[in-house]
Amino acid sequence: MNLIPFSLEQKIHQVITQKISLEDFENWLYQNDELEALNPNLYLELISFDYSHESSFREFQLSFEKYVGFHKFEADLIKEYLYSIIDRENDYEHSIWKLYELYCTGYEFLQKLGLKYGLCLIDTSYPVELVKDSNDVIDMFYPDIISDAKNVLDWLEEGKIIFREEKSEQGGFKYDDLRTGEEKQQGKF
């Protein structure tokens, strides 16, 4: 991976993860004069890129994902899911399910959220005759899920879970777990 300014790396990451559009990225790029001096070759490559074609998004991913250390943004992604669950906003049902999926990629600190809540959602998604509405199941999670999500949020914000660039065998990133024994127990199901 090549070294680039963090602000540029973050913006490229936001495009790849579809948090901002190619058009917004292009506008941001032309408003940041200092980028040219920091990495002239990459800047030239970025301003030469054709952002207007239908296939531009995929081409952007293929061309520029090598500049992004995705592990740097993993905690932010998980925090977004946690805030969604805590505030019951922004497709929080999907966020609950995603925490199960992330647990399965090797994030043991998500065990309680993944197994107690996320797996329950997966199990209730079928057969339909057993569960009238997944919202009935989700309603049963509250308020307990909020305190469990806040625990994980605290660990991430306090730097007790630090993601490394290296991938784990399960597909997630390896991480350093600096939680106390008591905190580790809080995260188990």
- How much is the pLDDT for 107? 97
Give me the percent of the chain exceeding a pLDDT of 90.
Answer: 78
Instruction: Summarize pLDDT for 39-97 with one digit per residue, the tens.
Output: 899 999 999 999 998 899 999 999 999 999 999 999 999 999 999 999 999 889 999 99
- State the Cα–Cα distance between residues 167 and 155, nearest whole angstrom: 21
Q: Span 109-135, mean pLDDT?
A: 73
Residue position matching structure tokens 């990451």:
13
- How much is the pLDDT for 139? 87
- How much is the pLDDT for 121? 78
Contact 172, 106 (CB under 8 A): yes
- Could you give the C-alpha distances from 170 to 68, 101, 138, 166, 184, in angstroms and in order? 21, 11, 27, 12, 20
Assess whether pLDDT exceeds 90 at residue 112.
Answer: yes
Mean pLDDT of the chain: 91
- How much is the pLDDT for 123? 57
Q: Using CA atoms in the order 98, 182, 74, 6, what is the torsion angle rounded to 10 degrees?
A: 160
Residue position matching structure tokens 């070294």:
3
Q: What are 176's strand-pairing partners?
A: 162
